[in-house]
Amino acid sequence: TQLLEQSPQFLSIQEGENLTVYCNSSSVFSSLQWYRQEPGEGPVLLVTVVTGGEVKKLKRLTFQFGDARKDSSLHITAAQPGDTGLYLCAGGIEAAGNKLTFGGGTRVLVKP
């Protein structure tokens, strides 16, 4: 069983502050994704990382995949209220088919 643990579970910050969310596992993943989910909606794909050590930037969001492909982080610079939501990481192992395992999620609240 591949488990993905996210930390922290909940984060409340003021607008303009930075934040980092972590996603860790003992398994090696072929692919790891980050999603954001808002209340009443389905998760929206933010990024996919597949190469160990890979860093991707999406405006104020920076995603990093660990060298060993077992962990990942999401860093938001100068957070805005629009960044509020549930952030989910999800990993897949090619040998296990296209079955994604999701982390428990990090609920982020950015206060104006």
Partner 1 sequence: KAGVTQTPRYLIKTRGQQVTLSCSPISGHRSVSWYQQTPGQGLQFLFEYFSETQRNKGNFPGRFSGRQFSNSRSEMNVSTLELGDSALYLCASSSTGWEQYFGPGTRLTVT
Interface residue with partner 1 among 21, 23, 25, 33 (CB under 8 A) is 33
Going residue by residue from 39 to 68, which x/- string records binding to partner 1, judged by CB under 8 A? Answer: -xxxxxx--x--------------------
Separation CA 39–CA 30 (nearest Å): 29
Minimum distance, C-beta of residue 48 to partner 1, in the bound complex (Å) = 6
Q: How many CA atoms lie within 13 A of 97 on its CB side?
A: 1
Q: How far is CA 107 from the centre of its chain?
A: 11
- Look up residue 27 and give its DSSP letter: S
Positions touching partner 1 (CB under 8 A) are: 31, 33, 35, 40-45, 48, 88, 90, 92, 97-105
